[in-house]
Structure 1
Amino acid sequence: MSWGFARARRDVRGAAAVEFALILPILLILVFGIVNYGDMLSVRQSVSQAASEGARAAAVNPGDNAAKIAAGRKAVDAALDAQDQKCSASGCTVTIAPCVGEITKSCATVVVEIDYDGIIAGFGLVLPDTLSYTAVARVS
């Protein structure tokens, strides 16, 4: 009678290892996907902050359009550099323009677009290739 119990126990000894081997790839994909998605959200927040800072700097600058664009670009670069994102590298576009249809000169629209490759290759099917944000600042 004890032989039957020992034999049944011996038959299931490797079952846990087989189940773990089957589920491990799925768990790794989930973990790496969560890490990559979190990194994408962090970069997106940096781009959002940079666009907001650039729009504010351009809108409050009392100079002409060239001075507003220079102030906005400097603020965008400073905000991205503070977050370890380099806008000076290729793949980053900053567009600064006066607000469309606005009577006041104290308005600026900034669009920041940055190429996003992600940390881990292979997740490009579900994550965007570029991250962009548009910010508008009006000063009364």
Structure 2
Amino acid sequence: MRERVRWRGACTLSRARTGERGAAAVEFALVLPILLLLVFGIIGYGYMLSFRQGISQAAAEGARAAAVSQTDADRVTKARAAVNESLDSYGVTCSGTALVKGATTVGSCAIGVATCAGEAASVRCVTVTLNYSYRANPLVPVPGIGIVLPQQLRYSSVARVS
């Protein structure tokens, strides 16, 4: 009687695949933290760029609002209101001479009315300067990307008041 010989190629192949399943899990575990850091870094950096544009816009809006007001006291009040309206979506407000997020002072807010440089004494200018300490107070804290974020976000806008 002849003995039947079974082909064992399928068994060898399935053993190899079983060993590879563990290797894929290990590779995924090694790549996942790098992938998450990259994704959250892009999100955090993009939000910082959006906030940078918001601070620039807030300074410009504050100077414009002050330029159309009648008195110097009214100019400062209107400028501060315009800055606060522009930065409201980020939870940042201009309170006195400080930028505040929640209960924490995160920067400075200066609104001044003075004689324009190089102009006659009757020509006045409104200057709105916002300075946010971004690296110390990021809006989206992502561990590990602090070194690529700017130390300060500082914008100043000047409007001439005749």
Same fold (TM over 0.5): yes
Residues 1-140 of structure 1: pairs in structure 2 closer than 5 A: 1-2=8-9, 3-64=11-72, 66-81=73-88, 83-88=90-95, 89=100, 90-97=105-112, 98=114, 99-103=116-120, 105=123, 107-116=125-134, 117-118=137-138, 119-122=140-143, 123-138=145-160
Normalised to the residue count of structure 2, the TM-score between the two structures is 0.70
Bigger radius of gyration among the two: 2
CA separation of 1:49/1:5 partners in 2, compared to 1, >3 Å: closer, same or farther?
A: same
CA separation of 1:28/1:82 partners in 2, compared to 1, >3 Å: closer, same or farther?
A: closer
Three-state SS of the structure 1 residue aligned to 2:94 is coil
Which residue identity does 2:147 align to in structure 1?
L
Aligned length: 139
Conserved 8 A contact 1:32-1:120: no
List gaps (5 residues or longer) in structure 2: 1-7
Between Structure 1 and Structure 2, which shows a larger proportion of strand residues? 2
List gaps (5 residues or longer) in structure 1: none
Whole-angstrom CA distance in 2 between matches of 1:9 and 1:81? 56
Q: Which runs of 4+ in 1 moved over 6 A?
A: none
**Percent identity, aligned pairs only?**
50
Q: Which moved more, 1:52-61 or 1:94-103?
A: 94-103
Cα RMSD for the two superposed structures:
2.4
* Higher relative contact order (Cα pairs below 8 Å, separated by 6+ residues): 1
